[in-house]
């Protein structure tokens, strides 16, 4: 294997793979290095929602970034299928953001009015109207915001498609290979030290999710990226219980997949790398999901799992170049929006490394926005 590349990407999750794909399309010689197997952490644990308008409630750079990325999925789905033959199972049947009580309904109605500025098809539905749309919903729900143009994908398939497409354009993928340090020359990072030896490159991208802070401390920078554990479970039925994603502000969501499985999540436990699933966590989810869709409690059990979302101190991802070391770039801290933001992350980072940064989109996500240094 050659050990000299234009770009080395550390991390084989969905955003690392998206960046590898976009850079490879530009003709860059790319190596993506993953310490385990591809998409083995948050990328494979996610439900695949593209919920820009349900989870982000205020206008600003993050919301605009999410909208831009969400709009890319239709063409991206076709593009990746043509290149790789992988169907990422992009489904756009809409999402309902549930209001469980009349008090919450006031807030959700206001959100619907705001969101119509970006999508005039979004509407508020009262309890009766929402159950005409999804008859399995509990009659106790007060109503909900219907987002007809929302959708979801299969994250593992999307990540695989990015990686395979990158390989089609010449990228090298190293699995079961860990990066434990950088190589430095003057004020630049010009390579990485790995378990199989040194790899030389002109640029390095760190895309290791909840683990990003570990390598960054070596460079004198504290990224404040930390893990948030989320436990999930699923049921599977021959006849669909629901046809659209159901999302609640109680932090419970139900995402129906093509194969009849409904993915239900997720708990939230900060600052832990322990991915073990607990009975109390799953019991809480079962109770919440059953309150929204009573048939869930009698549906056939399928599986349980947990993942680690990469959160940051201010809730915004880091996208940009290291403020001290040239040639070192970071794309991490996407929290609950890693799947949604993967298309735009790949595009923005590829353009940045190619010398064509979109400063308007990237400025809010600068690495040095907090200037937190390790002493």
* pLDDT for residue 2: 59
Domain architecture of the chain: domains with CATH: 4-50+156-225+314-365 (3.50.50.60), 92-150+227-311 (3.30.9.10)
Tokens of 148: 């007809």
Full pLDDT tens readout for the chain, 375 residues: 557 999 999 999 999 999 999 999 999 999 999 999 999 899 999 999 999 988 787 889 999 999 999 999 999 999 999 999 999 999 999 999 999 999 999 999 999 999 999 999 999 999 999 999 999 999 999 999 999 999 999 999 999 999 999 999 999 999 999 999 999 999 999 999 999 999 999 999 999 999 999 999 999 998 889 999 999 999 999 999 999 999 997 679 999 999 999 999 999 999 999 999 999 999 999 999 999 999 999 999 999 999 999 999 999 999 999 999 999 999 999 999 999 999 999 999 999 999 999 999 999 999 988 755 554
* pLDDT for residue 224: 87
* pLDDT for residue 239: 94
- Stated pTM of the model: 0.95
* pLDDT for residue 373: 53
In degrees and rounded to multiples of 5, residue 127 shows phi and psi of -55, -45
* pLDDT for residue 278: 97
* pLDDT for residue 159: 97
């Amino acid at each position: 294997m050659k050990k000299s590349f234009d770009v080395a990407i550390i991390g084989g999750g969905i955003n690392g793979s998206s960046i590898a794909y976009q850079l490879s399309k530009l003709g860059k010689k790319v190596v993506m290095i993953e310490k385990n197997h591809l998409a083995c952490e948050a990328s494979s644990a996610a439900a695949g929602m593209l919920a820009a308008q349900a989870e982000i409630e205020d206008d600003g750079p993050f919301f605009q970034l999410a909208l831009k990325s969400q709009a890319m999925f239709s063409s991206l789905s076709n593009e990746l299928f043509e290149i790789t033959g992988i169907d990422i199972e992009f489904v756009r049947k809409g999402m309902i953001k549930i209001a469980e009580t009349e008090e919450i309904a006031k807030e959700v109605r206001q959100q619907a009015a705001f969101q119509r500025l970006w999508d005039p098809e979004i509407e508020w539905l009262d309890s009766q109207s929402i159950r005409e749309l999804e008859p399995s919903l509990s009659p106790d729900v007060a109503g909900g915001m219907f987002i007809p143009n929302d959708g979801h994908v299969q994250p593992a398939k999307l990540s695989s498609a990015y990686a395979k497409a990158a390989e089609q354009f010449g990228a090298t993928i190293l699995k079961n290979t860990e990066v434990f340090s950088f190589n430095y020359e003057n004020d630049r990072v010009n390579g990485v030290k790995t378990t199989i030896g040194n790899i030389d490159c002109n640029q390095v991208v760190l895309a290791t999710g909840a683990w990003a802070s570990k390598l960054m401390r070596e460079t004198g920078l504290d990224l404040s990226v930390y893990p948030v554990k989320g436990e999930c479970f699923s049921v599977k039925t021959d006849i669909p219980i629901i046809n659209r994603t159901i999302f609640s502000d109680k932090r419970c969501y139900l995402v129906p997949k093509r194969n009849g499985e409904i993915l239900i999540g997720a708990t939230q436990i900060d600052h832990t790398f322990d991915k073990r699933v607990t009975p109390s966590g799953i019991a809480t989810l079962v109770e919440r999901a059953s309150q929204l869709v009573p048939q869930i409690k009698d549906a056939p059990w399928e599986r349980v799992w947990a993942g680690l979302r990469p959160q940051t101190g201010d809730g915004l991802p880091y996208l940009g170049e290291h403020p001290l070391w040239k040639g070192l770039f970071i794309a991490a801290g996407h929290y609950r929006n890693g799947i949604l933001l993967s298309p735009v992350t790949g595009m923005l980072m590829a353009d940045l490394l190619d010398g064509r940064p979109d400063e308007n989109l990237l400025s809010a996500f600068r690495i040095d926005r907090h200037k937190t240094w390790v002493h």
